[in-house]
């Protein structure tokens, strides 16, 4: 698919904003083949920009709340203001057949044709950790290609919100009108992650219930501990369908950046995210290296069997495999 000798040229074209080069580079970081992983690491080291060259925005909400419609409207609004918008997705459920988010490009027809937008669906296989790693790397690649607004969409299920919140500067939670009844259904933990809450579908007959929901959500949020001392998460109204409130969301995002950037908080958040990512990479890399190690590979099935039979504790089993990996007697591991 790609030869190591192509990497410098691929990197050059990527930083010039060549979309095909960008798409190829993302395909490379999505690959799990060890030789591709090595090339991906090399490419990232070449091109990944340092500093806050973009605003990374996580967008979450339950299916049907209007994420795709919102991204279409918001993305178009941003490109209309001169931004370059990349849309990525974290959807580990897409591995289990069917409903890949962003598979429905039908709701993003204009944005997907916009020369200043780049839309990439979720990698369609792997664990949440694997999908997250590839998405993180894709974020670096789109930034290298000059995209200054990076939207990372996730479905409102499972752990994916936390994972996305851990890779963005700002987490935007979309909620539906419906107010109090709905409140129980929204996991408190997800509300706590939000830097901006948007009640979507605030149009037509839904405008009144949307305003009631706004008050309810604002009251609920005021009881939660804010993530930053410099920012109280607001609850905004919007209609992805009519475009009402969309400009206000961009302004609020700018205000958020203006509140957190001068104090160094945004940079500190990215630094902490980078360190957490380093730990994960190290852990994953060590496990992969151990699995490839001949003596570990040879001993693994017997250790598994012993743990299954209850003859060996998991901790003792792991210690034995680690000792084999390190080439030491088991006792010293």
Q: List residues near ligand GDP by CB under 6 A.
A: 61, 63-69, 107, 200-201, 203, 206, 239-241
Q: Which two tokens stand for residue 121?
A: 């669906």
Contact 256, 231 (CB under 8 A): yes
Closer residue to ligand GDP (CB): 67 or 84: 67
Report the residue number, 190 or 260, with the smaller CB distance to ligand GDP: 190
Q: How does DSSP classify residue 107?
A: G
154 binds Mg ion (CB under 5 A): no
The per-residue DSSP string of 205-244 comes to GGHHHHHHHHHHHHHHHHTSPPSBTTBPPPEEE--TTT-T
**Closest residue (Cβ) to ligand GDP?**
66
Q: How far apart are CA 113 and CA 138, in angstroms?
A: 20
Minimum distance between the CB of residue 237 and ligand GDP, rounded to whole angstroms?
A: 10
Which CB sits closer to ligand GDP, 28 or 193?
193
Stretch that binds Mg ion, among 63-71, 217-225, 314-322, 324-332 (CB under 5 A): 63-71
Closer CB to Mg ion, residue 62 or residue 68?
A: 68
Our finding on whether 68 is near Mg ion (CB under 5 A) is yes
Task: Name the minimum Å distance from CB 158 to ligand GDP.
Answer: 15
Q: Which does 241 bind (CB under 5 to 8 A by kind): ligand GDP, Mg ion, none?
A: ligand GDP
Kind and range of the H or E run holding 175: strand 170-175
Contacts of 273 (CB under 8 A, 6+ apart): 166, 167
Q: How far is the CB of 172 from ligand GDP (least distance, A)?
A: 13
Selection from 280, 276, 275, 325 nearest residue 303 by Cα? 325
Size of the site for Mg ion (CB under 5 A): 2
Which residues are bridge partners to 5 per DSSP?
Answer: none
Asked if 239 touches Mg ion (CB under 5 A), the answer is no
**Which of Mg ion, ligand GDP, none sits in contact with 179, Cβ below 5 to 8 A by type?**
none
Q: Smallest distance, Å, CB 68 to Mg ion?
A: 3
Return the number of the residue (7 or 59) whose C-beta is nearest ligand GDP.
59
Rounded to whole angstroms, how far apart are CA atoms 182 and 174? 13
Q: Does 62 bind Mg ion (CB under 5 A)?
A: no
Identity of the residue, 70 or 118, whose beta carbon is nearer to ligand GDP in the bound complex: 70
Cα 267 from Cα 273, distance rounded (Å): 10
How far apart, in Å, are the Cα atoms of 247 and each of 74, 81, 241? Answer: 8, 10, 13
Rounded to a whole number of angstroms, the minimum distance from the CB of residue 66 to ligand GDP is 3
In the numeric block, the tokens 């798409």 are attached to 23
Residue showing the smallest CB distance to Mg ion in the complex? 68
Classify 267 as helix, strand or coil: helix
Binding site for Mg ion (CB under 5 A): 67-68
């Amino acid at each position: 698919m790609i030869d190591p000798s192509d990497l410098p040229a691929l990197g050059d074209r990527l930083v010039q904003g060549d979309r095909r080069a960008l798409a190829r580079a993302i395909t490379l970081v999505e690959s799990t083949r060890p030789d591709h992983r090595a090339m991906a690491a090399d490419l990232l080291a070449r091109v990944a920009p340092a500093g806050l060259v973009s605003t990374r925005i996580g967008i979450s909400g339950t299916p049907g709340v209007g994420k795709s419609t919102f991204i279409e409207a918001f993305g178009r609004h941003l490109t209309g203001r001169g931004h370059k918008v990349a849309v990525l997705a974290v959807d580990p459920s897409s591995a289990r057949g069917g409903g890949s988010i962003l598979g429905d490009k039908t709701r993003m027809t204009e944005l997907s044709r916009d020369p200043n937008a780049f839309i990439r669906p979720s990698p369609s296989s792997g664990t949440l950790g694997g999908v997250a790693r590839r998405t993180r790397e894709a974020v670096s690649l789109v930034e290298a290609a000059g995209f200054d607004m990076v939207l990372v969409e996730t479905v409102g299920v499972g752990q994916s919100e936390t994972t996305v919140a851990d890779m963005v500067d700002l987490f935007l939670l979309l909620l539906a009108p419906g107010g109090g009844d709905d409140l129980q259904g929204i996991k408190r933990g997800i509300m706590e992650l939000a830097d901006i809450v948007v009640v979507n579908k605030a149009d037509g007959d839904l405008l009144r219930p949307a305003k009631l929901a706004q008050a309810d959500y604002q009251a609920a949020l005021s009881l939660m501990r804010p993530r930053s001392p410099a920012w109280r998460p607001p609850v905004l109204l919007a209609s992805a369908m009519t475009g009402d409130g969309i400009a206000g969301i961009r302004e609020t995002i700018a205000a958020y950046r203006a509140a957190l950037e001068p104090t160094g908080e945004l940079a500190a958040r990215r630094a902490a995210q980078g360190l957490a990512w380093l730990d994960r990479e190290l852990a994953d890399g060590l496990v992969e290296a151990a699995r490839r190690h001949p003596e570990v590979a040879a001993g693994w099935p017997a250790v598994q069997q012993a743990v299954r039979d209850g003859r060996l504790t998991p901790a003792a089993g792991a210690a034995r495999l680690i000792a084999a990996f390190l080439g030491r007697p088991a006792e010293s591991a």
